[in-house]
Amino acid sequence: MAPAKKRNVSSAKTTEKSAKTAKIDLSSKVESVLESRKCANDVFDMLEFLQSEKEKDVIDAVNACGKLFCTLLERKELLRGKLPGEEEALKGGYNAEDKYRIFMRHRYNSCVEILLEHLDHEVYNIKESALCCLMKFAAGEGQHPLEDLDWSEHYSFPRELIQAVVSRLLSKTSDNSLLISRLQEFLEMEDVRYYVMSSICENVGKVMDKNKGAVVPIYQNNVFMLMSNISMPSQESELTNFMVKQEAKHEDWKAAKLNEHKRVFERMWLGFLKYKLPSSMYKKVLVILHDSILPHMSKPALMIDFLTAVYEVGGAISLLALNGLFVLIHQHNLNYPDFYKKLYNLLEPSIFHVKYRARFFHLANLFLSSSHLPVYLVAAFVKRLARLALTAPPAGLLLLLPFISNLIRRHPSCRILVHKPTTEDETLEDPYLMDEEDPAHCRALESSLWEVKTLQKHYHPDVAKTATLINTPLSEQEDDISEVLELTTFELMERDLKPTQNKSIPLEFETASQLLKGGGDMLGQHFCLN
């Protein structure tokens, strides 16, 4: 149901009433309108309260209008089909019944328009009440359509009302995150979710094209919040919760098909991500990409353009982009030959000082877990990490050294870096090329891990002890790095400064129990011996 461009609301002066009196009057007016058509004009008073400056009056009016018009929808007392103007209805050859339905349909349109405006109200309770009332109207229109049905595609679902709600939620000037989260309850319904996604596709294209692709931070944040609240089903058998149950041809309805949900879900995200985003939003998208977006797309490989473009942003964003690429490579057979080259070039001194350090090494450990990687590639990573270790803080070293040991365990051929044979005439210059971007040409296998040997004399005893372990034969069991992923310098200092508990020192194998027992005999023997 499309909201009317103009609303016809009585211009009578608003009376000053208490909230309690207003509630009683509104309830009685609803009953009188439903009982007798002679009281139809009382609906103007309800619409007047709907525009009150008092929060309680507005909420009471929202509840009253919701009860009134939902009942009228059930009774089919709102005109169905094309709505003529009120002046035209008075002049035309309409009977009393049709005139009443036309009159109430215009009042309904006015109510919907006011409720849509209230979605931008400064008081959250009013916005929430308006949203819930509009969704009740959507359910009522679904069961008792006001427009001619389009059985070929959309059946009796109130698409235009949902589009109007979505358009208001996706504000360009106010953050609607809290109100959007309130919509989560309705997004659990299959048909609501389907048409909300369709509405987002249309709205994003229209707004972003109008702004010529420029960043619109508040609007794009609202869009992201709405899309990230959408939980997609994984199997078609899960599509059971509908707001509007189609009595005929329900199985042929697009909203009842999982493939159609995936198609519009994919179109929604691709349409949103093709435009430039605020820099902070790239992280938000990439964090949920592999769990909440890629598994529900019909063609996940279509995300390759977005991921390769985002990689160029640099820093932690590049790492998160590589995580998405890794999923596409291993789960969707995407061919991306530069993946490990890009990961290699992310290894810089700054990785020990960024917010996503733990996530970086967790993902890097995942990326390098395959035992089928070529030895030259693993050796390049081992050597580059060892070189970075020379300037890393102690907390980073306690993570980095076990990480290097684990790589050597997985790829025994890299042990040559630890036990590098030397000759007397060999030069002391390290052949490793730190500035080489291609790991295939950095000459890592020609070098050795002298950096780890150097760290065996580190000022921090824990680092020195960990570095010394590489001299011993490495066990087959890998070191668990999960405990040190989140280790910070502050935590390390707290651990070092924490006083150690004094443990009792054992002096004998068996505790003495009879030394001072026996009285004078034992003491006498002692004195006699002396």
The tens digit of pLDDT for each residue in 453-483 reads 999 999 888 889 989 988 888 777 888 777 7
In this structure, the answer to whether residues 41 and 91 fall within a common structural domain is yes
Query: Angle of helix 159-169 relative to helix 190-210, nearest 10 degrees?
Result: 50
User: Residue 317: its pLDDT value, please?
Assistant: 82
Q: For residue 497, name the pLDDT band (cuts at 50, 70, 90).
A: confident
User: What is the distance between the alpha carbons of residues 274 and 271, in angstroms, rounded to a whole number?
Assistant: 6
In this structure, the answer to whether residues 224 and 195 fall within a common structural domain is yes
Sole residue written with tokens 């009285």: 519
- The closest of 310, 270, 1 to 145, measured between CA atoms, is 1
User: Residue 6: its pLDDT value, please?
Assistant: 43
Sign of the alpha-carbon torsion through 307, 312, 313, 314: positive
Sign of the alpha-carbon torsion through 400, 406, 410, 413: positive
| Range with lowest mean pLDDT among 188-197, 214-223, 301-310 | 301-310
Tell me which of 234, 257, 277 is where a domain ends.
Answer: 277
pLDDT at 18 over 50: no
Q: Has residue 19 been placed in a domain?
A: no
Q: For residue 223, name the pLDDT band (cuts at 50, 70, 90).
A: very high
> 394-428 pLDDT, tens per residue?
888 888 899 999 899 888 888 888 877 665 555 67
Asked if residues 109 and 4 have their Cβ atoms less than 8 Å apart, the reply is yes
pLDDT at 21 over 60: no
Q: Which DSSP letter does residue 355 get?
A: T
Query: Angle of helix 96-118 relative to helix 124-143, nearest 10 degrees?
Result: 140
Q: Has residue 78 been placed in a domain?
A: yes
| Rounded (10°) CA dihedral 193, 194, 197, 203 | -110
Domain count for the chain: 2
Q: Is 124 helix (H, G, I), strand (E, B) or coil?
A: helix
> 88-144 pLDDT, tens per residue?
777 767 888 888 989 999 999 999 999 999 999 999 999 999 999 999 999 998 888
Q: Burial of 521 by CB count in 10 Å (0-12 exposed, 13-18 middle, 19+ buried)?
A: exposed
Tokens of 478: 């890998």
Tell me which of 124, 148, 172 is where a domain ends.
Answer: 148
pLDDT at 154 over 70: no
Tokens of 139: 């359910």
In this structure, the answer to whether residues 134 and 191 fall within a common structural domain is no
Q: Helices then strands (H, E): number in the chain?
A: 23, 0
Tell me which of 227, 248, 277 is where a domain ends.
Answer: 277
- Whole-number percent of the chain with pLDDT over 70: 85
- The closest of 52, 53, 6, 49 to 24, measured between CA atoms, is 49
Neighbouring C-beta atoms of residue 267, cutoff 10 Å? 18
Query: Angle of helix 19-35 relative to helix 42-49, nearest 10 degrees?
Result: 150
User: Residue 484: its pLDDT value, please?
Assistant: 75
In this structure, the answer to whether residues 171 and 84 fall within a common structural domain is no
Sign of the alpha-carbon torsion through 484, 486, 489, 491: negative
Tokens of 161: 């009302």
In this structure, the answer to whether residues 140 and 179 fall within a common structural domain is no
> 359-388 pLDDT, tens per residue?
888 888 888 888 888 999 999 999 999 999
Q: Has residue 267 been placed in a domain?
A: yes
Q: Has residue 109 been placed in a domain?
A: yes
314 in the Ramachandran plot: left (φ > 0), alpha (ψ -120 to 50) or beta?
left
In this structure, the answer to whether residues 108 and 181 fall within a common structural domain is no
| Range with lowest mean pLDDT among 34-43, 328-337, 379-388 | 328-337
Mention every residue, 6+ apart, whose C-beta is less than 8 A from residue 298.
259, 262, 263, 266
For 189, the domain range is 152-277
